[in-house]
Structure 1
Amino acid sequence: MPRIVRVAVPVPLPRLFDYRLEPGVVAPAIGARVRVPFSGRDRVGVVLSHDPCSDLADDQLKPLLEILDAQPLLTGELVATLEWASRYYQHAIGEVFDAALPAVLRRGGALPPAGIAGIALTPQGREGLAVATPAPGTRIGRLLELLGGGALATADLDQRLPAWRNSARTLKNRGWLQDCRLQAWPIPAPAVAAPLLNDEQRAAVDALGACSGTFATFLLDGVTGSGKTEVYLASIAETIRQGRQALVLVPEIALTPQTTRRFRERLGFDVAILHSGLGEGERAAAWLAAARGEARVVLGTRSAIFVPLP
């Protein structure tokens, strides 16, 4: 049984650090966060290996303080990529792994609950709706009409009924609505129909599709307005139909809103957004939604390349 855990601690030193597992403690998974003592203070690091013994003497080994994750946050290919980045850029491995995590998780914060934030009618709300039809055309009436068909993701409501939150607050106070967690968004019909691809676009989409499931690189060449984004959208839509995830990188934050709007309209569901202009909680939620496979499309700036996509 491994009794030594090697941890990438976020300090500017190019090495891992050994910590002792106390008797009876199950070794944390590779890629999980742990809390460890380092230079007189507690730090949050990432486990990268186990070993039955250490080069350090027993009296030099400090005990692991806390295992923060039952399941690894970083796995397989992503762990290998981060280790490669540390070697290639000659940067301390602990700082590389630290940079790959959202700030909330770097500090050891708890993981948000699984699933997608949603709103649903309570049993009281369903009973009330059955006996009292809300005034048609009002925002409260429209919200109840939408939720009458079942729970909806808050992101879906943002698109279908802007400014719905004030109405939801009123209905929650009445006991008619409750927050919930959804396992996944259903795949609806696209909100905006896709245009018919021209011959060059179709050839590009077919070439991308032929390499699905394998590593390949392509350069899509075309002037502004020539229809490159339609190729991306068609390829992403096919990826989603296959039950997989897609990552879209944009060169700067300023391009995120217009790209997000176009993707949401075409694909018919929300996309996870990741860039430094978001609040810490929003970034952590999007990162975890991607890592859990809940977010089908992730759109972000360059740092989003380190998001786990199972």
Structure 2
Amino acid sequence: MSSSTTLALLRVVLPVPLRREFDYLCPLPLPAPGCRVAVLFGNRSMTGLVLSHPTDSSIDFAKIKPITAVLDAEPILADGELKLLAWAAQYYLYATGEVYFQALPTLLRKGEAATYRSSSFWHLLDSEAQVPARAIKQQQALTLLRQGPLSAGELQVRGVSSATLNALAKKQLVEKRDQVPQPQDSRDIPWEISEQDKHRLTTEQALAVSVIQSALGFSPFLLEGITGSGKTEVYLQVMEAVLKAGLQVLVLVPEIGLTPQTISRFQQRFSLPICTLHSGMNERERLDAWLSCGDGSSAIVIGTRSALLTPFARLGLIIIDEEHDTSFKQQEGFRYHARDLALLRAHQLDIPIVLGSATPCFESLHNAAQGKYQLLTLSQRPGTATVAEHVLLDSKNVQMHAGLSPQLIELLGQELSKGNQVMLFLNRRGYAPALLCHGCGWIADCERCDAHFTWHQKPSRLHCHHCDHQRPLPPACPCCGSSQLMGTGLGTEQVEQALSGLFPQYGIIRIDRDNTRRKGSLEQHLEGIRNGQYQILIGTQMLAKGHHFPDVTLVAMLDADGALFASDFRATERFAQLYIQVAGRAGRASKPGRVILQTHQPDHALLQDLANQGYRHFAHSALQERQLANLPPFSFQALFRARATDARQVQTFLQQLVAQLQPHLPDTVLCLGPLSAQMERKAGEYRYQLLLQSGQRRELASACRLALAIIDKLASARKVRWSLDIDPVDLF
């Protein structure tokens, strides 16, 4: 850079854990806000993002470094996205640059060009190609490819494996080609709606669609619909009008892998380009999808929480499905809540937003009661489907067989003999939650956590589900040498083994994290359920979310008593949501359904309320209790977490923080702690926390800023890992 070059100031953010911006010098003309630049930060070369062009700096001009390169001719983040991220950094009090860079795909963070690159796409060679009826996966692949070329990643997330594609390639029905995607404005793409998949609306559905479509500007709607009431159909018909107007739609879902049916249904209805955004994509696929949102090539974007931070050319509607799901809250690093940021983004863009759930979170119900959201209700299932019957089975003083009561076993047999499917839900994978010595009482504990090892039989091992540590099953007790080692408690593997013995003539499938690790395996299992290959379904929470199994007529929840006495004030809300979601898998078509809950507490008020009055009545009562206790949503919380391998270092840090913070807190801000986490030691680290609570957001934010200023000066803070979580959803 010559000495005669005119230099001006750039204010830049960098992906570093500091809550500040940095000034650099740059020759004219200056890159616009939203462009990336290459800079030196210390001795490291880094990618920075331009925020503004200040006229002065707090740093001596002679000490300000020049940038090394301008990486973008045009902004990759527009003014609206920059304002959204600036608000998020301020609200969540997180390192400024790391918030901005959270919105960029990994390749852009590394400084690569914001352009499409050659990728491999699978092409259909013969539009009339047919395969044998038994080749279900190959048929599915051909159906998808008739809509246009797709990458292996796009096909994989829809349940089509590379083995299936290679088999079709051998038959010369498909081939893989390298090509550079050609961006095309989705408004210029001819599209049509599949009338075959279009359902006739119920009165409640029609009213909901009409109200949402008539909304002007920013309008938040809470669509509360019982499971199976047709919320997705409402989404689809509302989207239709938005898409016809040439606008884009963003659909946020908790987990892409658990909703292949939803994605498939969107593809069947609309012939417009649909892209998915999720953590399972490789870096190149994610950047290409990100670019297609920003240039308007993709009309519909279905993604997990990070998709919210993606630029859009013409966003006209945001839909958040299963809005109650805690997956929308990031639990590491930048701890934002996608639902809350989505509301802000819709407000900034002046567009409608729909939050849908059978079990809305208490915050959303409270906002609806205050008139901040418009509540729309779907209380009936379409067609001949009816709401399932709820039965509480008392398991006290009953001889159980692997967690199954004789009465439940009889009910299962009755449904199976009618040709129906049954589902058993247990949110504990493995064979047993603990391994016990019958001789001396020794229990296999994880050396790194305050937790027992879970005993798995397939393959045989001890596995800590908290830190992922695994070790072989001991041949004998390490304390007394006894070979009488036995499992205690119940896991999904044990239930599967028991049912295989009780009902050997029926197909059994277990769905949990252990047997769905391989890509595409979950979709294969779900396809087997839908085509009648399996009659007995056993699973964890993965099986409870959003799946439609028309032949399931009985759903049993095997063990739920633990949630009734948990220490977290949100435990009953979570249990109620899970119970309703699990119950919603029964009787979704013309066959009547029944929901069985085995419990030692059949008279418990929560269970009685849910079984007899439903979620809304329970939520109303629980919200009244929250109000009396001044708990969220009637107050606001912030949680400081700290961890280290030495417990004394964590305690010292938080005690020093409290000692300096407490004298400056107003009476309206409550300070609780420091307290140990419910599981004090996890993965070899001791964990403690400090909770701040107030009825006023502004006062809570001021207290947090004061705490952060104190932490910056504490030497003890450098000996621990600490974090701040605004609006925490888990108090660990």
- Shift in Å, 1:184: 4.0
1:115–1:183: 8 Å Cα contact kept in structure 2? no
Q: Does 1:262 align with 2:265?
A: yes
Gapped runs of 5+ residues in structure 2?
Answer: 1-5, 132-146, 159-163, 314-732
- Shift in Å, 1:274: 0.7
Describe the superposition over 1:107-152 as per-residue Cα deviations: whole angstroms up to 9, x where unpaired. 11112239999899xxxxxxxxxxxxx9x8689xxxxxxxxxxxx8
2:7–2:25: 8 Å Cα contact kept in structure 1? no
Pick aligned residue for 1:15 from 20, 26, 35: 20
Quickly say closer, same or farther: Cα 1:16–1:254, change in 2 above 3 A.
same
- Looking at structure 2, the residues matched to 240 and 278 of structure 1 have their Cα atoms a distance apart, in angstroms, of 26
| Equivalent in the alignment of 2:202 | 198
2:242–2:248: 8 Å Cα contact kept in structure 1? yes
Root mean square deviation, CA, Å: 3.5
- Shift in Å, 1:190: 2.7
Quickly say closer, same or farther: Cα 1:50–1:168, change in 2 above 3 A.
farther
SS at match of 1:62: coil
SS at match of 1:7: strand
- Shift in Å, 1:256: 3.7
- Shift in Å, 1:82: 0.5
| Equivalent in the alignment of 2:379 | none
Matches within 5 A, 1:1-310: 3-22=8-27, 25-113=28-116, 153-155=148-150, 163=165, 167=172, 181=182, 183-184=184-185, 186-191=189-194, 192-212=196-216, 214-310=217-313
Describe the superposition over 1:50-95 as per-residue Cα deviations: whole angstroms up to 9, x where unpaired. 0233232222110011111111111122111110110111101101
Quickly say closer, same or farther: Cα 1:66–1:282, change in 2 above 3 A.
same
- Looking at structure 1, the residues matched to 312 and 183 of structure 2 have their Cα atoms a distance apart, in angstroms, of 19
1:274–1:300: 8 Å Cα contact kept in structure 2? yes
SS at match of 2:56: coil
Quickly say closer, same or farther: Cα 1:72–1:257, change in 2 above 3 A.
same
Larger RCO, structure (CA 8 Å, separation 6 or more): 1
Describe the superposition over 1:160-190 as per-residue Cα deviations: whole angstroms up to 9, x where unpaired. xx95777598797xxxx97662524523223
- Looking at structure 1, the residues matched to 77 and 32 of structure 2 have their Cα atoms a distance apart, in angstroms, of 10
**Paired AA for residue 9 in structure 1:** L
2:118–2:179: 8 Å Cα contact kept in structure 1? no
| Largest Rg, 1 or 2 | 2
**Paired AA for residue 13 in structure 2:** A
- Shift in Å, 1:238: 1.3
1:3–1:53: 8 Å Cα contact kept in structure 2? no
- Looking at structure 2, the residues matched to 180 and 279 of structure 1 have their Cα atoms a distance apart, in angstroms, of 16
Quickly say closer, same or farther: Cα 1:64–1:137, change in 2 above 3 A.
closer
Tell me the TM-score normalized by structure 1: 0.79
- Shift in Å, 1:100: 1.1
| Equivalent in the alignment of 1:130 | none
Quickly say closer, same or farther: Cα 1:307–1:180, change in 2 above 3 A.
closer
Percent identity over paired residues = 38
1:239–1:245: 8 Å Cα contact kept in structure 2? yes
Describe the superposition over 1:230-288 as per-residue Cα deviations: whole angstroms up to 9, x where unpaired. 00011112111000010001112333422211111111234111111111111111111
2:122–2:174: 8 Å Cα contact kept in structure 1? no
Structure with the higher fraction of residues in strand conformation: 2
Worse-superposed segment, 105-114 or 267-276:
105-114
**Paired AA for residue 201 in structure 2:** L
Quickly say closer, same or farther: Cα 1:116–1:206, change in 2 above 3 A.
farther
**Paired AA for residue 154 in structure 1:** P
- Looking at structure 2, the residues matched to 113 and 220 of structure 1 have their Cα atoms a distance apart, in angstroms, of 37
SS at match of 1:3: strand
Quickly say closer, same or farther: Cα 1:103–1:170, change in 2 above 3 A.
closer
1:4–1:50: 8 Å Cα contact kept in structure 2? yes
Tell me the TM-score normalized by structure 2: 0.35
2:183–2:297: 8 Å Cα contact kept in structure 1? no
2:274–2:298: 8 Å Cα contact kept in structure 1? yes
| Equivalent in the alignment of 2:535 | none
Quickly say closer, same or farther: Cα 1:95–1:182, change in 2 above 3 A.
closer
Worse-superposed segment, 200-209 or 53-62:
53-62
